[in-house]
Amino acid sequence: MELKSPDETGLFEALYSTRALRRFKPDPVPDEVLFQVIDAAIRAPAGSNQQVWHFLVVRDEAKRKAIGEAYWQTWTSYGKQYVDDPSAIDRLPRQMRLVVRSTDHLARHIAEVPVHLFVCGPAQAAGTIYPAVQNALLACRGLGLGSVVTAFHRGHDATLKPLLGVPDDVTLHALLPIGYPEDKIGPVGRRPVKKHASLDTYGEPWPFAESQPDEGWHERWVHE
């Protein structure tokens, strides 16, 4: 999919092509571009409109390196089998292979990604934080940036909070590494609606969804 300027990217085109991007060019992200991402993120809905989110932009190289070390530590346990034996990635089925390979790549290189954006808030405010996270991802898509929701920093508060000056009552919910992507944008592949939806009673099939093709709905809205 060819990258378009923001005003040419339709809403549905963005929805169907904003996928996890984990390989980045070293090119810097200008402040005005980053500001636009955050200004769009805070348009998200918020419980009682409390807007309890806080966006911590980390550009400092030494801090990104420390964040990268924490992130890598998580991957060495969560993805241990692939860290111990990288050739195990090659033996995975295609879809999984692509995800694990890019996850491993990001874990090795996250310190080099020009911006680490932490979306922070009270511990119990995930329901408010995540709409803002998704808005940020869509804004990145519109601006030609790439990103991915990450959580491998979780569990490293003892290192990261003092490093970043984060108060005790603030949670680092999501870490979005942001940069200009190396990988192609979209499409987003998912299991079909019929696998995820029911009618009237949980688990009961929704006949309309059952009758729909698994792919192709987005073509109604996306015109290349």
The binding site for ligand FMN (CB under 6 A) comprises: 19-20, 22, 99, 103, 106, 148-152, 188-189
Q: What's the token pair of residue 107?
A: 């874990």
Q: Closer CB to ligand FMN, residue 65 or residue 190? A: 190
User: Hunting for tokens 């508060």 — which residue is that?
Assistant: 157
Enter the DSSP assignment of 42. Answer: T
Minimal distance, residue 42 CB to ligand FMN, in Å: 19
Minimal distance, residue 211 CB to ligand FMN, in Å: 25
> One-letter amino acid identity for 195?
K
Q: Cα–Cα distance between 128 and 53 in angstroms, integer?
A: 8
Q: Closer CB to ligand FMN, residue 191 or residue 223? A: 191
Q: Closer CB to ligand FMN, residue 100 or residue 170? A: 100
With residue 126 as reference, give the H or E element that holds it: helix 126-142
Minimal distance, residue 189 CB to ligand FMN, in Å: 6
Minimal distance, residue 115 CB to ligand FMN, in Å: 16
Q: Closer CB to ligand FMN, residue 1 or residue 151? A: 151
Q: Cα–Cα distance between 46 and 97 in angstroms, integer?
A: 36
> Are the beta carbons of 141 and 185 closer than 8 angstroms?
yes
Q: Closer CB to ligand FMN, residue 114 or residue 147? A: 147
Minimal distance, residue 91 CB to ligand FMN, in Å: 19
Q: Cα–Cα distance between 169 and 33 in angstroms, integer?
A: 29
Minimal distance, residue 100 CB to ligand FMN, in Å: 9
> Are the beta carbons of 147 and 177 closer than 8 angstroms?
yes
Residue 178 three-state SS: strand
Q: Closer CB to ligand FMN, residue 74 or residue 206? A: 74
- Give the bridge partners for 98, in sequence order: none
Those residues whose C-beta lies under 8 Å from the C-beta of residue 157, and which sit 6 or more positions away, are 166, 172
